[in-house]
Amino acid sequence: MSETRVIRPEAPTLDLATAVAGTGTLEEAEPETLRDTGTDMWAVIFAGGIGTRFWPLSTPRRPKQLLALVHERPLIAETVMRLAPLVPSDRVLVVTSADIVDALHDAIPEVPRGNMLVEPRPLGTAAALAWGAQEVARRAGPDTVFCALHADLSVGYPDVLRDSLRRAATHAATERVLVALGATPTRPETGFGYLQPGHPVDPLTGRAEGGACRVTHFVEKPGAALADVLIEKGALWNTGIFVWRAQVVLDALATHTPEVASALPALAAGTLDTVANLVTSISIDRGLLERSPHVVVLPTECAWDDVGTWASLRRVRELDDTGNGVMGPVYCVESSGNVIHAESCSVVAYGISGMIVVSIDGLTFVTTLERASELGPLLNALPGSLRFNPGRA
């Protein structure tokens, strides 16, 4: 029998025009200097979107970034916390949308409000990266090293992650490269990107010693057969955690990402309407990593995983003796391999396995681990009142 208590986060900010124009202020903080590079690292966190794969818990009013899915803190709070003290909160920029920015800032009050960068519309992660890089360059200088990462990831060993970021910064600070952290695959995952390492950047610390390598090619979301081949050839998962200099990123986007390049001058000038009109949405992976010949992958053993679906929580949550990943007042009897999330009432699981059970105020959702990976058909079949306001239809 297992019981876990959920602590739900309680649910103003710099918009794009204000941020780019430079009217936001940063609180003074003691600089945390990277011991290897002599550089003060910044961070840009991507925290837009709702995360419909976590329906019914995730809604437009409470998106995935605000959910306590792995531990008792919201995902965005976990992300900010694991960067410290390498990246203090006053050097963290968060790119998000206007509809969730207030709730997001309530979850991470240690991040200055002026560091919340509010998109006028969803611009895609490549454009969000361009904006973050421009802000880092404006506030700290074009040669400043920063890491870019998503809010919805899990890291088992934060200290290892910070050490990997320090090692990545040694390359980013001295070379014009785009450094991606790579994780060793544990399964032929079709929802991740794969980075194929080539020649070592430093022959004395080749891949066998965990050193950085040039990327020969990048494959985004391959089929299962191709994923098997990539793993056999030593490819690494793209963690979506990157380290680079601000100006190097801006130059790379200008060269390889036409969907964003035409908006870069307007972004630097702070003309909001022009930026929004010129950008075409595209991801960092497809818009930059697939196109640039200057990508470097550095292996990390930080126990990274993507918090992408209900089923993924069995990999990132602490499991009980029979493999259940539970949160909230949950009691499992003769049950194994389930993910159960309870917020408003107790859930008793008896004699079940491989199930997803989510209980919130007024609604209980039940499916299998296999069917939980894609909820699109389900959501399309539901009335809007239930889809967007679960439990209150």
Q: What are the CA-CA distances from residue 55 to residues 99, 100, 239, 372, 376 (Å)?
A: 18, 17, 24, 10, 10
pLDDT at 204: 57
Report d(CA 43, CA 45) in Å as an integer: 6
Q: Is the CA virtual torsion 125, 390, 77, 316 positive or negative?
A: negative
pLDDT at 14: 46
Tens digits of residue pLDDT in 265-311: 999 887 767 888 899 999 999 999 999 999 999 999 999 999 988 99
pLDDT at 339: 97
pLDDT at 242: 98
Among 44, 22, 21, 40, which Cα is nearest to 111's?
A: 44
- Backbone torsions φ then ψ of 82, nearest 5 degrees: -70, -15
Chain centre distance of CA 258: 24
Residue ranges and CATH numbers for the domains of the chain are: 14-306 (3.90.550.10), 310-388 (no CATH)
DSSP string, 68-87: -SSSSS-HHHHHHHHHTTTS
State pTM to two decimals. Answer: 0.86
List per-block mean pLDDT (blocks of 10 residues) for the chain, which spans 393 residues. Answer: 34 41 35 51 91 85 89 94 96 94 95 94 93 96 97 94 96 96 94 94 66 93 95 96 98 97 90 84 94 96 92 92 95 97 93 96 92 87 81 51
pLDDT at 23: 34
- Backbone torsions φ then ψ of 376, nearest 5 degrees: -55, -55
